Amino acid sequence: MPTSLLPIPSRSLLVYQQWSRDAQLGFQNLLLHGMRSLLTMLGMIFGVAAVVAMLSIGAGARQKVMAFIEQMGVHNVIVEAKQTMEWQAHQKVRNLSPGLTLQDYRVIHDDVGGVAAATPRKQLTPSTIIPKAQQDMPNVMGVNASYQQIAGLHLLTGKFFDQQDDDRGSPVCVLGAAARFSLFGSADPIGQYVKVNEQWFRVIGVVTPQLSPQSDNAGTSSIDVNNNIYIPLQSFLLRLEDSYSDVRDEIDGIYLNFADAADISESAQVVRAILESSHHGADDFSVVVPAELLAEQKRTEHLFNTVMVAIASISLLVGGIGIMNIMLASILERTREIGLRRAVGARQSDIVRQFVVEATMISFAGGTIGVIFGFVISRLIAWLAGWSTIVTFSSIALAFLVSISVGLVFGIYPATKAARLDPVEAIRYE
């Protein structure tokens, strides 16, 4: 009875038996020529491994960058002063602009709508500090109490200073996670004192660890945020002497937090316009909008994924060509077998299915080994280079599906060629 006239269950069973038989024959043939099969798989193995490893490196790097941008606050706008220690360059800029000032902060705060919280910032690296820092010298940052909300700081212990502390210029401080361990080790720092230059500050809180940028990012500082000592801005201005005050701005940063994220881009343009006007085009500041950085990073992520997959797919293409070459060579070796199968009733579709199954099995095996190899490579890179790598399910699925697709595409032509062999000529082939 023709297959098309069989009942649905019987037809499905027959199809399953046909594919199962071809899979067994294909597996036996691959084992029979084990070395050749392994060499054929190499292109697929290296191609899939390259896709998985490249995407894992990219995913790790993107996760750190995007997490840092999100930590900066997608509702925030940050103004950074462009500092210079060269007197001549400083004087050239000062002929046009007074630098970033508290007056700039007050004008922006009063004239820009939608500001939920704001603070100026002044910071320095002290010349001496007691207790002695066991690692890098901490950075001292003077800010208003609202900085905790703007930066999304969470307290590990103690509390953050409040507006009254800022108004009174109280000699209190809050330590970043790295600054705490550098100054006090595992001891409880709450209630202890830190001497910054010639001034003593009482520790009232410790901040939980935060992500830090590896380098300057679109104008933001690369200072380790975990190595900060936070003090009230008024206390900073009253108590700490800046030895470089002649060549530094009155403040070096402004943080603005907006209630509505939809208005951030327009508000940032207003901030730029206000500063451009008061600074007379001196270009001594930068305005950073984390929401725009996040959107740009996502566009870059898409482009990076596309480029990485395209590059790694070249290896898969080479592997597919290798599969086609081996399958064409296999047809020559098995010409008599093909002729005998056709002579005893095998249809062209049966021959096509047999060779496509073999090509797919090579791709499947190569893809599986390649995924494992790519996972090992990504972990090895993370261990040797200290990079963050993330092997995602999507990268594994993409590499695996592409490898199977390549096997199917490059197996169709040899299978079709084998099916079109004349049975009589094939049997007589020597």
Per residue in 317-331, pLDDT (tens digit) is 777 777 777 777 777
Question: Residue 208 CB: number of other CB atoms within 10 A?
Answer: 12
What is the Cα 44 distance to its own chain's centre?
A: 26
Per residue in 311-365, pLDDT (tens digit) is 766 766 777 777 777 777 777 777 777 777 777 777 777 777 777 777 778 888 8
Q: What is the DSSP string of 8-67?
A: HHHHHHHHHHHHHHHHHHHHHHHHHTHHHHHHHHHHHHHHHHHHHHHHHHHHHHHHHHHH
Q: Is the pTM of this model over 0.75?
A: no
Per residue in 149-193, pLDDT (tens digit) is 888 888 999 999 999 998 888 999 999 999 999 999 888 899 999
List strand residue ranges (DSSP E) for 172-247, in order.
Answer: 172-175, 193-196, 199-207, 228-232
pLDDT > 50? residue 291 = yes
pLDDT > 90? residue 124 = no
Per residue in 27-86, pLDDT (tens digit) is 777 776 667 777 777 777 887 887 788 778 777 776 666 666 656 666 788 888 877 666
Write down the pLDDT at residue 294.
67
Here the contacts of 327-333 (C-beta below 8 Å, separation 24 or greater) are: 327/355, 327/358, 327/359, 327/410, 327/411, 327/414, 327/415, 328/414, 328/417, 330/29, 330/33, 330/355, 330/358, 330/414, 331/355, 331/414, 331/417, 331/418, 331/421
3 state DSSP class of 76? strand
